[in-house]
Chains A and B, each alone.
Chain A
Amino acid sequence: MTTTTARLTASFDDAPLTLVRRRWPLGLALLLLVAFVALPLLGDDYWLNAILIPFLVLSLAGLGLNLLTGYTGQTSVGAAGFMAVGAFATYGLLLRVPGIPLPLALVGGGLIAAFLGMLFGIPSARIKGFYLMVTTLAAQFFIEWVFAKFPWFYNYASSGTISAPRLELFGYSLASPVGRYLLTLSCVVLLTWVAVNLVRSQTGRNWMAIRDMDTAAAVIGIPVDRYKRLAFAVSSFYLGIAGALWAFAYLGTASAGSFDINRSFQILFIIIIGGMGSIAGNFVGAAFISLMPIFLNHAGQWLFGGNVDAGQLQNLQKILFGTLIIVFLIKEPEGLVRLVGNLRDRLRTWPLRF
């Protein structure tokens, strides 16, 4: 016992630096290979444009919101507002800074969104829960209004829209579907790696501690207000980049209306369905949200032939989503990712039960 406790008091600073070689799980390597090589080769334009790019961007947005809401416990319904900031800021940088490379413009747009997110996160020191959610709602409407109201942001275009500027990297054009897909994929992979690092680090633990019990977090020495603001900033950075990609890699032409409150709810649903406080959940949730309508369309066609009109199908979708959200909130607050995990555990132990 004495030896243990004696070691406990050993100093912090004398640990040698050894490089831990991380093993790349085969599954991940395979997934990346498929995503970077197979899909661009095999996928047709429709798949890339209409399914894979929006799926990836929505996953990224979910990731951003999840860091704030799932990991830090600060519910926000203003996600799309910060996406808009990223989109308009990236546009402004590409337009007004001559020769700025695309990656720099994206990071710049993300940083501007992060700064704004940090500002809107300041009230989180004083208000919690429902009332904090209302301030994010206010942020959403305010930001939307600003980008619709002041023509400077959309360069005085009579349409009030911003459209994809030169998408190029080191002289290569990224304007083709494959180019836009690879741009999006690279951003998503890089930022997912960063997010995994973050949630496994002391920063991530501090966020989760604040989520679970903020008084205790302060008592053990976590600067609660600072980490809440940091969560707002990091979350908005992710959302900002997602917004820029949504505008330029997916839509091509966007306006303030592309980032309305419905988009915010869509992102929120992604993390509820996929799983709060889970990285993989964002991808599962985004896949669900973006594939479900397509699936329903086909199912509707197949079941009823041409007898159901599109409007009714859309209503059906809304009802289905609403029901699912309620089911998830009540039955499985940890989302689809948890359901899949449970299933896997059961399969693993399945033969043993007999």
Chain B
Amino acid sequence: MSTLLEVRNISLSFKGVKAISDLSFAVRRGEICALIGPNGAGKSSLLNILNGVYRADAGELVFDAERLHRPHPLTAARLGIGRTFQNNALFKNMSVLDNLLTGLSRFQRSFFIEQALGLPRARREARVFAERAEQVLEFLELQPWRDVAVGSLAYGLQKRVELGRALIAQPTLLLLDEPMAGMNAEEKQEMSRFIADINRDLGATVILIEHDIKVVMDLCAHVVVLDYGRKVGDGTPAEVQANPDVIAAYLGTVHG
């Protein structure tokens, strides 16, 4: 399998405090790669670099054989990098359906004036978008909440809507930041199933941040372990579990 993403010597610091130091690893096309590590290890910061929310101090990214020099969130979105956030980042006053539809912005071709006047191309595009949104609603079993304002949904459902918003854009690479945090066992299983389906049927490569080691073992063939912004492990789940550095990183640290 070819390499989809290569992280080369990335470093990032906040006001002199190192969050990520000299980090390198590669993600193969089509795999689910887990990113694990104790709290504050720099996992979320790395995702933020990957889709341009933060800018790395040093290093480079190669995505789909293309060098990305300090990507902007928009460039990342256009290249097909989708993302969910650790603390939900939904549009809370909009309905579930509208939230999903915003995810299609990168496919928008009709001009605003066509939409304003309801011209044929805009109407056709709107209908195609609506159909796709219905498909995603169905896939994620969200139809009962179709027209509900997202802000009033339960936390677990919000996580699912956010996954849908990223999914509808047909991402090549999907970055999931703790999509199962705060869920009970049953919800976690459901979410795992969705992620596996998205990976297998849609061919999306996934980078998954997850603290629950059982979920990681079930879903991922590749695990990267961070501690204090450094990579301490990189391999199959079994290799990583046997790695003394990884065990040391987790000993005595609190994580949830």
Task: Identify whether the interface residues of A are mostly helix, strand, loop, or mixed.
Answer: helix
A322 at the interface (CB under 8 A from B): no
Which residues of chain A are within 8 angstroms of B105 by Cβ–Cβ distance? 202, 205-206, 220-222
Indicate if the CB atoms of A197 and B116 lie closer than 8 Å.
Answer: yes
User: Does B132 touch A at the CB level, under 8 Å?
Assistant: yes
Q: Does B170 contact A (CB under 8 A)?
A: yes
B201 touches A197 (CB 8 A): no
Known: A17-B124, A208-B94, A221-B169. A9 touches B107 (CB 8 A): no
List the A side residues contacting B103 at CB < 8 Å: 220-221
**How many chain-B residues does the 8 Å CB contact rule pick out?**
55
By a beta-carbon cutoff of 8 Å, the part of chain A in contact with chain B is 1-2, 4-9, 12, 15, 17-18, 20, 194, 197-198, 201-203, 205-206, 208-209, 211-213, 215-223, 230, 234, 277
Q: Let me know if A213 and B76 touch, CB within 8 A.
A: no
Tell me the minimal C-beta distance from B147 to chain A in angstroms. 13
Does B91 lie within 8 Å of A202, measured CB to CB?
no
User: By the criterion CB–CB under 8 Å, are B102 and A205 in contact?
Assistant: yes
A234 to B116, CA, bound (A): 10
Chain B residues near A277 (CB-CB < 8 A):
93
Q: List residues of B (183-229) whose CB comes within 8 Å of A's CBs.
A: 197-198, 201-202
Closest to A15 in B: B128
Residue B18, interface by CB 8 Å = no
- Name the contact of B51 in the complex, choosing from A20, A201, A219 (C-beta under 8 A): A219
Q: A4-B135, A218-B74 are in contact. Are A197 and B117 (CB under 8 A)?
A: yes
Answer whether A194 and B102 are a contact pair too, CB < 8 Å, given A201-B126, A218-B74.
no
Which of chain A's residues have a CB closer than 8 A to the CB of B77? 218-221
User: Does B112 interact with chain A (Cβ within 8 Å)?
Assistant: yes
Residues of B within 8 A of A202 (CB): 101, 104-105, 108, 110, 115, 125-126, 129
Identify the interface centre among A4, A205, A218, A219: most chain B CB within 10 Å of its CB: A219
**When A and B form their complex, which 10 residue pairs have the shortest distance between CB atoms, in order from nearest?**
A221-B77, A221-B106, A5-B201, A201-B115, A212-B91, A216-B89, A218-B73, A15-B128, A209-B102, A203-B112
Distance in Å from the Cβ of B104 to the closest Cβ of chain A?
A: 7
A sample of 23 inter-chain contacts (CB < 8 A) reads: A4-B139, A5-B197, A15-B131, A17-B123, A20-B127, A198-B112, A202-B104, A203-B115, A208-B91, A208-B93, A213-B92, A218-B77, A219-B77, A219-B89, A220-B77, A220-B83, A220-B102, A220-B166, A220-B169, A221-B77, A221-B106, A222-B74, A222-B105
| B138 beta carbon closer than 8 Å to chain A | yes
